Amino acid sequence: MKHILYTIAALFVFAASIQAQEEDSWEKWGPTTGLKDGGFIARVGYVLGGTTPIPLPAEIRKVNGFSPRGGISLGIDGYKMFSKRWGVSAGAHFFWEGFHTNADVKNYYVWLEQEGEVTKGYFTGTNVTSTEMWGVTLPLLATFRMSPRWNVSAGPYLSLYFHQTFSGEVFDNDEGVGYLREDTPTGTKILMTRENPTPYPDNFPEKMQPVALGIEIAFDWKAMKHMNVFGLLDWGMTDIWDRNFEAITFKMYPIYATVGLAYRY
Amino acid sequence: MKKTSIFAFVAVPLLLASCIAAEQDNTECDIEEVSLHLDSPIDFFFHEYDTLQTVISTETDIVFTIRSYANIQSVPLSLRITEGASIYMISEDGTETPFLSGSPVDFSNEKVYHFRVVSEDKVWSRNYSISVVHDKPSEGNLFIDYESYHLDASGKYFVWDAPEVFPDATWKNGNPGFKISKSSAKPMDYPSTPAVGAGPDGSDCVKLETCDTGPFGRMANMRLASGSMFNGIFDVGNALTAPLEATLMGSPYTHKPIQVRIWLRYEQGSVFQDRDGKLVEGVVDEPDFYIVFYRNEDAEGNKVQLNGGDILTNPNIVGLGRLPHHYNSDGSDQLSNDPIHGVTDEWQEFTIPVVYRSEIDATILENQGYSIAFGSASSWQGGYFAGAIGSKLYMDNLQLFCE
């Protein structure tokens, strides 16, 4: 995590040093020709984020670990400025994103169904989850030019997923507590340990929505004549799970940020 | 616009992950441990350790057994319950008064006390009973025809009544574990079921069948469940983590067993599979039936209860009788394709003598220092989740002869 932030910081320093002597002007940093022109931006970025319930439910007691999975985005946007300050853009960002997390939970309701068999109840212990998603995000954004070199864009997006994985397992926490109370908190207490962890059923990915809707906010900074440094946030507004999926009682939203470089012309 | 804004956006999901909501009150309401405090416990109990009971999550009727002639009065009763929960004693007219752990309770005349434990969040509660009963001396010899059975409280599987000297006077088996893995199973789909009118004399008998445990069984790497029947405790809470240890076998017995006679019939499943579900060539499934007599206390006075892992090998075993099998030179079970157990698909009565490897101490015997364990299975390697799905062992009319 740290080395990624350092890399990003270094990029900014590098970009800032190049432009330090040059004088800002709306024409110079504008679209390639003229203030109302359009063009394309090809983006390559690093994706970091998570798929999370918002707010975190009280069942989640402690996040022990978090690490990104995948994290690549390749995209192209077309843009058109209507005036000195206003424009629109639309594009396609292909991504591979995901994360792995380890959290302690208490009284976490689980409802597992496989081939007609159901196991359900309240789990207390450690829950490990990994998810990865391959897909494309199609944003449609309004662009506001804040200064000669800074653009901010915002608008809705639609994500289409080509492939999704969602796996995990449950076992005892560091204090050795790991159990399921079958059906209700007064039901049979079934112990679970890390020596013999209980995995999620492998049918979870089938219960994931193939599409997602959300809001994208993007910041572009014109580092050089044809190069942007950008950061954008895709905030999912739709639950990743099918509405009738009972295994996870809370809604989970994909929230992923991308930082990277773009070629602009 | 500052450059730091981009960092802020990257950090948002991470910040969210650190917003832990306030912890909610506990929802559980168990009695976890019960103990009676006596100055001289051995005057009342057969073992020092009998004054303390760890309560498994499926148990709600807690019974202490004292010597038949002992006269217990008011003794301090300590209860360990779920953190944050509160406990009430329920009087005969239904009124509830908070119970302070360690308060004296008059257990004379086998009076049964009722308690209600209420969870910290006040939403859930469980009722328990606690009593002290006198040991009922047994005559030693037993005859068990497996005719007395009923559905369990959940209505999912059958339970058989056992002689009163056994815990809860019921036979134990893996049915409660099978229920966790195969919620859709009907009572007659379970590994241990009654077989109505199928006994050698035309009466009901027991059918033990090795069953597929379905998708959850595969997930837990426990692909099959052997039908079983034993006396002791099945701690279903440990069934996933330590299945052999969850099978706590044996109960104290004050008579020296000499031999068992039992009617058996076996239908061998066709394909023997190992724990990973892989077909094992050149091996056939075998049934098992055994009787074990063992010393139930170690040199330090700690309780010894054998389980599915050491029921046939523990050094505390003093006497053992089992259907014949092949063994490796180190004494371990040997899989083969020419079994010698002799059980066929025709009913036969088998006589299994108990072979003693050490002398029985009469005083220890009298003071419940030995336990008797009966074990039976449709797949003799079922404890290791190996066997042939569809193997069926029918049992009836067990007779125990004691000295």
Give the model confidence (pLDDT) of A34-58 as tens digits: 667 889 999 999 999 988 888 888 9
Amino acid B5: pLDDT: 45
Give the model confidence (pLDDT) of B64-107 as tens digits: 999 999 999 999 999 999 999 999 999 999 999 999 999 999 99
Cβ within 8 Å, pair B241-A150:
no
For the cut 60, the answer to whether the pLDDT of residue B10 exceeds it is: no
Output A202 or A97, whichever has higher pLDDT: A97
* Facing A198 at nearest CB: one of B176, B214, B220: B220
Which B residues, 218 through 247, put their C-beta within 8 Å of a C-beta on chain A? 219-221, 236-241
Cβ within 8 Å, pair B219-A66:
no
Which B residues, 167 through 186, put their C-beta within 8 Å of a C-beta on chain A? 176, 180-184
Amino acid B403: pLDDT: 92
For the cut 60, the answer to whether the pLDDT of residue B134 exceeds it is: yes
Which A residues, 176 through 195, put their C-beta within 8 Å of a C-beta on chain B? 179, 181-182, 184-193, 195
**CA Rg, chain A, in Å?**
22
Amino acid B6: pLDDT: 44
What is the DSSP-derived secondary structure letter of residue B26? P
Amino acid B63: pLDDT: 94
Return d(Cα A181, Cα A123) in angstroms, integer.
6
Give which of A170, A161, A166, A38 is closest to A107, Cα–Cα.
A170
Return d(Cα A173, Cα A189) in angstroms, integer.
16
Which B residues, 65 through 104, put their C-beta within 8 Å of a C-beta on chain A? none
For the cut 90, the answer to whether the pLDDT of residue B268 exceeds it is: yes
Give the model confidence (pLDDT) of B316-352 as tens digits: 999 999 999 999 999 999 999 999 999 999 999 999 9
For the cut 80, the answer to whether the pLDDT of residue B211 exceeds it is: yes
pLDDT band at A196 (very low <50, low <70, confident <90, very high): confident
Return d(Cα B34, Cα B56) in angstroms, integer.
11
* Facing B240 at nearest CB: one of A63, A115, A191: A191
Please, which residues bridge with residue A51 across strands?
A: A254
Please state whether the predicted TM-score (pTM) of the whole model is above 0.90. no
The residues near B365 (Cβ < 8 Å, ≥ 6 apart) are B254, B255, B256
Using an 8 Å Cβ cutoff, are B316 and B294 in contact? yes
CB burial class (10 A; 0-12, 13-18, 19+) of residue B97? exposed
What average pLDDT does the structure give for chain B? 93
Average pLDDT over residues A214-224: 95
Amino acid A8: pLDDT: 54
Q: Any CB–CB contact under 8 A between A57 and chain B? A: yes
Kindly report which listed range (A19-28, A197-206, A218-227, B377-386) carries the lowest average pLDDT score. A19-28
Q: Give me the phi and psi of B187, to 5 degrees please.
A: -50, -35
Q: Any CB–CB contact under 8 A between B153 and chain A? A: no
For the cut 60, the answer to whether the pLDDT of residue B132 exceeds it is: yes
Which residue out of B10, B14, B186 would a mutagenesis test of the A interface target, given it has the greatest number of A Cβ atoms within 10 Å?
B10
Return d(Cα B227, Cα B358) in angstroms, integer.
32
For the cut 60, the answer to whether the pLDDT of residue B141 exceeds it is: yes
Cβ within 8 Å, pair B57-A188:
yes
Return d(Cα B27, Cα B125) in angstroms, integer.
9
A258 → chain B, closest CA residue: B10
A92: domain range? 38-264
Enumerate the residues of chain B whose CB falls inside 8 A of the CB of residue A150: 1
Token pair of A136 as six digits = 């494309």
Please give the share of chain A, as a percent, with pLDDT higher than 70. 89
In a domain? residue A5? no
Alpha carbon of A243: minimum distance to chain B alpha carbons (Å): 23
Q: Give me the phi and psi of B51, to 5 degrees please.
A: -80, -10
Alpha carbon of A82: minimum distance to chain B alpha carbons (Å): 22
A16 → chain B, closest CA residue: B3
- Omega before A254 cis (within 30°)? no
Return d(Cα B149, Cα B205) in angstroms, integer.
10
In a domain? residue A22? no
In a domain? residue A9? no
In a domain? residue A246? yes
pLDDT band at B1 (very low <50, low <70, confident <90, very high): very low
Enumerate the residues of chain A whose CB falls inside 8 A of the CB of residue B30: 186, 189
pLDDT band at A14 (very low <50, low <70, confident <90, very high): low
Calculate the alpha carbon distances from B196 to B33, B58, B171, B309, B375 in Å: 40, 28, 18, 32, 22
Give the model confidence (pLDDT) of B348-388 as tens digits: 999 999 999 999 999 999 999 999 999 999 999 999 999 99
Amino acid A32: pLDDT: 64
Amino acid A208: pLDDT: 92
Return d(Cα B164, Cα B166) in angstroms, integer.
5
Please give the share of chain A, as a percent, with pLDDT higher than 90. 58
Enumerate the residues of chain B whose CB falls inside 8 A of the CB of residue A147: 1
* Facing A66 at nearest CB: one of B9, B17, B126: B17
Alpha carbon of A49: minimum distance to chain B alpha carbons (Å): 6
Q: What is the DSSP string of chain A?
A: -HHHHHHHHHHHHHHHHHHTTSPP-HHHHSSSSSTT-EEEEEEEEEEEEEEE-SSPPTTEEEEEEEEEEEEEEEEEEEEEESSSSEEEEEEEEEEEEEEEEEEEEEEEEEEEEETTEEEEEEEEEEEEEEEEEEEEEEEEEEEEE-SSSEEEEEEEEEEEEEEEEEEEEEE--TTS--EEEESSTTS-EEE-BTTBPEEPPTTGGGGB-SEEEEEEEEEEEE-SSSEEEEEEEEEE-S-SB-TT--SS-S--EEEEEEEEEEEE-
Amino acid A201: pLDDT: 82
* Facing B10 at nearest CB: one of A122, A221, A257: A257
In a domain? residue A7? no
Enumerate the residues of chain B whose CB falls inside 8 A of the CB of residue A259: 6, 10
pLDDT band at B138 (very low <50, low <70, confident <90, very high): confident
Using an 8 Å Cβ cutoff, are B255 and B138 in contact? yes
In a domain? residue A241? yes
Cβ within 8 Å, pair B214-A181:
no
Amino acid B162: pLDDT: 94
> Between chain A and chain B, how many beta carbons pairs sit less than 8 Å apart?
145
Give which of B270, B220, B246 is closest to B385, Cα–Cα.
B220
Give the model confidence (pLDDT) of A120-178 as tens digits: 899 999 999 999 999 999 999 999 999 889 999 999 999 999 999 999 988 999 999 99
* Facing B9 at nearest CB: one of A147, A150, A231: A231
Cβ within 8 Å, pair B22-A257:
no
B176 → chain A, closest CA residue: A188
Amino acid B8: pLDDT: 45
Average pLDDT over residues A206-227: 93
Q: Give me the phi and psi of A18, to 5 degrees please.
A: -65, -40
A202 → chain B, closest CA residue: B219
Cβ within 8 Å, pair B5-A231:
yes
Give the domains, in start order, of chain B with CATH numbers. Answer: 31-134 (2.60.40), 142-402 (2.60.120.890)
Amino acid A3: pLDDT: 55
For the cut 60, the answer to whether the pLDDT of residue A11 exceeds it is: no
Cβ within 8 Å, pair A63-B18:
yes
Cβ within 8 Å, pair B28-A185:
yes
CATH code (residue A212):
2.40.160
Q: Any CB–CB contact under 8 A between A213 and chain B? A: no
Cβ within 8 Å, pair B239-A190:
yes
**CA Rg, chain B, in Å?**
25
Total domain count for chain A? 1
Q: Are strands B251-252 and B387-388 parallel, antiparallel or unpaired?
A: unpaired
Helix (H) or strand (E) holding B142: strand B142-144
Cβ within 8 Å, pair B180-A190:
yes
In sign, the C-alpha dihedral spanning B209, A198, A113, B239 is positive
Please give the share of chain B, as a percent, with pLDDT higher than 90. 87
In a domain? residue A31? no
Give the model confidence (pLDDT) of A69-85 as tens digits: 879 999 999 999 998 89
Q: Any CB–CB contact under 8 A between A25 and chain B? A: no
Please, which residues bridge with residue B161 across strands?
A: B170
pLDDT band at A89 (very low <50, low <70, confident <90, very high): very high
Alpha carbon of A33: minimum distance to chain B alpha carbons (Å): 25
Using an 8 Å Cβ cutoff, are A243 and A251 in contact? no
Amino acid A10: pLDDT: 58
Return d(Cα B264, Cα B395) in angstroms, integer.
5
Helix (H) or strand (E) holding B206: strand B205-209
pLDDT band at B291 (very low <50, low <70, confident <90, very high): very high
Output A233 or B10, whichever has higher pLDDT: A233
- What's the number of CA atoms in the CB half-sphere (13 Å) around residue B269? 29
Enumerate the residues of chain B whose CB falls inside 8 A of the CB of residue A12: 3
Provide ipTM, 2 decimals.
0.86
Sequence letter at residue B293: F
Cβ within 8 Å, pair A56-B28:
no
* Facing B180 at nearest CB: one of A52, A182, A217: A182
In a domain? residue A32? no
